[in-house]
Structures are given as C-alpha cells and as structure tokens.
Structure 1
C-alpha cells in the first residue's frame, strides 16, 4: 500500500504547542548566549536542552503515528514521509545561510571574506543533504558540521534516530525496548556527570568527541519517547498546556547548578531533566485536553511555526552575533532592542517560510514522491 495513503491520526494539540514553546526559548537562548561571559552566566542557561526535548517529542509522536502501521508501511515509505517532513526546511535554512554568509561582517569570523564562491556553494549543497561538512570545509571557523546553519547538526542526528527506528528498533518488544532505553539513560547520565563542561552540550562538530555526545543525546530521549508512546495510558489533566509550558520554561531557564566548583551537579540536573522531567511533561501534555478555541489556535500556531522557527532563526542570529561582537562589553539591557528585533524577525521569517515555502513544497513532494 502507498505510504501516502495511510490515514492520518489526530495530532496531540498540546504537544504541538509545547514544541513551539521550546522553539521560542531556543531563540531566546541563542540571543542571550553571545552576551554571557561564560556558559555559567547565560540568562537562559539551559536553553540547549530544548534539543533533547525535541528528540523525546519526536520519538513519542513517531511511535504514536507509526507503531501500528507497519503491516501497511515499508521502510522506504516511512523514510520518504520523514524526508518530506524534514528536508524542505533543511534546504531552505542552508540556502538562507549561504545568502547571508558574506553579510555577517565581524572579527569573530575572519574566514568569511576569504572564502571563494565555489567553496560556499559546495558547503551549501552538502548542507542540503544534511550530511556533515568535514572540518576541512569549515568556512566560518566554528568547527561546525553545518557552518551555514548551525542548528542543522540536530537534524543529522534526528535522521539517524529515524533510520534506526525503521531498520529494527521498532521491532523490539516493550521489555526489550525498556532495557535498551535504560542502558541509554545510564550512558547519558555518565556523560553528563563526567563531562569536562558539566553539561550535555555538543554534537555539532565532526569529530569523535562530538559524535559521541550527539549520539548519546539522541538515543535516550528519542527511544524513551518511543517507549512512552507504547506504554503510557494518558489520563485527563486540567490546564495541561499551561502547566507543561511553565515546566518547560522552568527547566530551560534554570540558572547553572553547582557553579564552576561542582560541575557534576549541573550534569546531574540535566540528566534528571532529560530522563525524568521531559518524559513527565510529554505524558502530561498527551493527557491534557484543550479547553477553548483560543487555546486550540495558540497550540496550532505554535506547532506550525516550531520547526520553521528552529530551522531558520539562526540565519538571523548570525547577524545579531556579529553586531554583539562588534560592540564589545555591551550588556543585555543595552542589547535588548536589537535582540527583540531579531526575535520578531525570526517569528515573521518562520511564518513566511511555513506558508510560502514549507507547506507548498511538502504538498508537491507528496504528489511526486510516491
């Protein structure tokens, strides 16, 4: 049976909304990050954990959507559906990043104006595939696997998780999957507590250390979400969207734990959030019911713009980071008008990308890729 003709299950509206809440906080994290003196002082200190939350949400939603469809669905059909959903905005983000590359003039990127056009185009085309750019092709100087759109690294690992799910992990029994997730959780805990930075950050550079971090950050939350979709029995929770949104915000904005003297404490906090708090939030969100048309519209809008916002906002953040770097010592209070302008532009860009590009392209792909 053609995978495009599978019936569509109803969305978890609250989970859609929570994805949008987390995406917005990611933008704020990236806007406050260049103003912080160190990783210990960022105002939105744990904003990077939104990526781990996205992985868990993704595993849960994919499990909900596909676990009972494999009698009618092929591996290639599943991967085509994921390609259709993910890839258009990957291409757009890399393209916009390439267009803006030479305009982000700053001393922190001395390589930019020495990069020949052919090299920029090669990096962009590699970026379109979401495959990592080798370090020898780093044109920005940050040692990122996607120097034209920094956030692309998480999509690389998202694809890996999807492929692993399709190729075999979906076939594990609930008990076997629970054992697999428990082992992945132990590996994540060890990484976070023993990290030289006292956190789980990493995954964006094509080297052994970052690949280990990226795989570890992906495997537990994605497959914990898959397990949760199988075994959870949601109950009705009042005001679930409000409470879950507050929980997500509290986790991501939480100041650094333990300081520079006790880095392991922050690692323990992050492990607790990823292993315990995030699954709890998803469970409560899946158990909640929207109570008004206003709440429905808010969740739908947040869900619709979440992925476009995540995939396009860093194109604007590059300009903002360049401006901050050219105004050494600027404070958050001095920078907030520029930060607010960048945030507002990111929301507008995400909505335009959704309506004028992502939705039409996905509709076209549904017709062409069968």
Structure 2
C-alpha cells in the first residue's frame, strides 16, 4: 500500500447503494420537533384554546423513537453484506465513533460552560463513556449533564448490538427481517415504549430495566425494516414498486398527525408503526414530500440536525439570559431568537467541526489500518 493510499480518507460504505436523502431531510424536522417540545409553545397553544396544536407540540418527545427507527434503518441499509470479517467490525466501530463522539463530547463541555457547573465524578465518567442510560436504579443520572444526551447512550447500546444482529439476520431465512419487524412493532406498541423517556416514572418490572434497553425494540423496528427494504429492492421492478404511488407516505403522515394531535394515551403508541411506514415510504416512493425532503436545503438541514439536537440545551439558557436582560417576555420572539441562534450554531458546528473531525478521524483510522497491514508478513513469500 502506497503512502498516498494510507493518507486517503475511506469512502463511506453507502457508496455501493443509492443515497436516501429524504431520510436525511426528515431528521431536521425530528430534531426541530424535540426543540419545540422543550419550549413553552405547547403551553401557549393550550392557553389560547388551540387544543390540537397544544397536544401536537406536547408530543414532541415522540420524535425520539423516530430517530431510533431511522438509526436502525440506515445502519441496516448501509452495512447489509458489509460486516463479514474481523476488520469489518473494527471499521464499523471506528466509523460510529468518528460520527458520534466528538460533537457529543463538545456538547458536554459547552453545557458545563453555559450552566457553570459539572456533574459528580461518577456521573461525569458514565456520561463521557455514554453509559448514563444503562443504570435502571438511577434514572436521573441519564439527564444530569446535557440532558438530551441520554438518547446517545441508548444509541451506543444499539451500535454495540448491531453487527451481530445484522450477521444473524443475513444468515437466517429471508423472511427473518420481516418477523423481527413485526415482533418489534408489537413489542413497542404493547409496552408503549415511546412514552418511556427521560425522567419517566418506572413502575413494576420497568424499575429493573435500563432506559436504553426499553428502547431497543424501536431500533429493531428500523433494522428489520431496512433489511426488508433491501430484500424488496432485489425483486423485479414491477413487484418491488407496487407500493410506489405515494400511498404509504401520505397515509402514514396523516395517521401520525392525527395521533400526535390527540392527548397522550395508550393509542399514542401506534405512532411507532406509523413512523415505520413513513420511513419505508420516504425511501421507496417518489412523492412531493420526498422531493422536498431530498432538496439541497433540507439535506443540509438534516446534516445539521445532530448538532441542533445536542446544542439545544446549550443555546436555550444563553438566549434566555439575554432576553431577560433586555426585558423581553414575548414567547414567540424568544422562540424565534432561540431557533435562529441554534440554527446558526448548528451550521457552524456541522461544517467546521463535525464533518472535518469525522473525516480526520476516518483518515487516521485508515492510515493506522494500512500500517498494520504493511507490518503483517505476506504469506505468499
């Protein structure tokens, strides 16, 4: 291997499959939904008698299961057939680390600077290692630093399980992904997993189940769906495109909106299968919605969504302090300024930190792997 090859940044594994930009674009709306959930918008809507709108913004926590489903779907779509050897596992974990941890760590540092405090040493270590959602006996620890990072702790568990899960699915019957999908959907609905978020009150058996484990079925929905989607893509075009007229996308969107505008109840759990249908529809169908989400602007915003999600608790207290100093009490103006600052910061972090650092780390890992290969003796000699 030449020195030039050692310096090359490795290509993404998705290069062997077509891009799914609509699934990038929808991440922006999911992140924005969480941000609005953490604002006072729901209370304002309810106070004005706009009950459905109030319920909608009060249901913003349900964007988290959508993130988990998307995560499972994209991983399955990306790595199907790509994790076969020991080196493949290593490259997979290196890619996940380069994608997630640098901005995650920066968000913790900025949260401490803004709030002028740091958590206890135990919480600090657990959060830095992304383990804060793994302790069922101390649920408060999950949100003790940068609260939204509890979902990334869940993602770590998913990432650790995925290579072996994907290998098992590929070696099993071709219907196995569909069985996994159906079983996981039933488990999500039966346990109402989407409602069990940070600081929920655990009763019964849930007192002994880590928060990260509670949300595993949502990730499994995505993994099963992603593998099923790929299986459908291998069928003849006439068979694989029978649902390609937009019905899946539009019907699932209407069902999701109807569920989110209702008061929270057991029926809200049906949003999980509706999310799954929407994700499949956006990946498979060519609709006006998928074209909008696939636009250059929306894919950029989708790329920014990770920074937007992580930095919301960094920006919010800083903007609130500024508004208080200026004696500005308008909820709409505060929200507008908060969103503007958050979007600007997210763009800067995405373009100047997240992407460059990820490429730097991927290149560094590639060079390390190349040098290890050079040191290994050639068995043909």
Q: Same fold (TM over 0.5)?
A: yes
- Structure 1 residue 250 corresponds to structure 2 residue 257: yes
The 5 A counterparts of 1:291-330 are 296-319=295-318
Tell me if structure 1 keeps the 8 A contact 2:180–2:221: no
- Corresponding position of 1:81: 95
- Corresponding position of 2:356: 360
Task: Find the partner of 1:50 among 51, 63, 68.
Answer: 63
Q: Structure 2: where are the runs of 5+ without partners? A: 233-239, 367-381
TM-score by length of 2: 0.72
- Corresponding position of 1:26: 34
Mean Cα displacement is larger for which, 85-94 or 143-152? Answer: 143-152
Distance 1:355 1:144 in 2: 31
Task: Find the partner of 1:281 among 278, 289, 299.
Answer: 278
The structure number with the bigger radius of gyration is 2
Q: 1:223 to 1:43 in 2, by over 3 A?
A: closer
Q: 1:82 to 1:244 in 2, by over 3 A?
A: farther
Tell me if structure 2 keeps the 8 A contact 1:144–1:205: no
CA-to-partner distance for each residue in 1:81-120, whole Å, 9 max, x for gaps?
1111111111111111111012xxxxxxxxxxxx6x6x56
* Paired residue total: 330
Distance 2:252 2:32 in 1: 11
Tell me if structure 1 keeps the 8 A contact 2:133–2:150: no
The 5 A counterparts of 1:214-293 are 214-217=212-215, 219-232=216-229, 233=232, 235=241, 237=244, 243=250, 247=254, 250=257, 253-257=260-264, 266-268=265-267, 270-275=268-273, 277-289=274-286
CA-to-partner distance for each residue in 1:267-305, whole Å, 9 max, x for gaps?
22x221102x01110111002348879952123212211
Tell me if structure 2 keeps the 8 A contact 1:55–1:221: yes
Tell me if structure 1 keeps the 8 A contact 2:28–2:301: yes
Distance 2:323 2:248 in 1: 35
- SS of residue matched to 2:147: coil
Q: 1:293 to 1:334 in 2, by over 3 A?
A: closer
Distance 1:348 1:94 in 2: 19
Q: 1:10 to 1:120 in 2, by over 3 A?
A: farther
Distance 2:152 2:122 in 1: 19
Distance 1:252 1:200 in 2: 13
TM-score by length of 1: 0.74
Q: Structure 1: where are the runs of 5+ without partners? A: 103-114, 258-265
The 5 A counterparts of 1:106-255 are 124=124, 126-132=126-132, 143-172=140-169, 173=172, 174-192=174-192, 200-203=195-198, 209=207, 211-217=209-215, 219-232=216-229, 233=232, 235=241, 237=244, 243=250, 247=254, 250=257, 253-255=260-262
Greater helix share, structure number: 2
Tell me if structure 2 keeps the 8 A contact 1:145–1:205: no
Distance 2:248 2:165 in 1: 34
Tell me if structure 1 keeps the 8 A contact 2:114–2:314: yes
CA-to-partner distance for each residue in 1:51-79, whole Å, 9 max, x for gaps?
10011111111111001212365222211
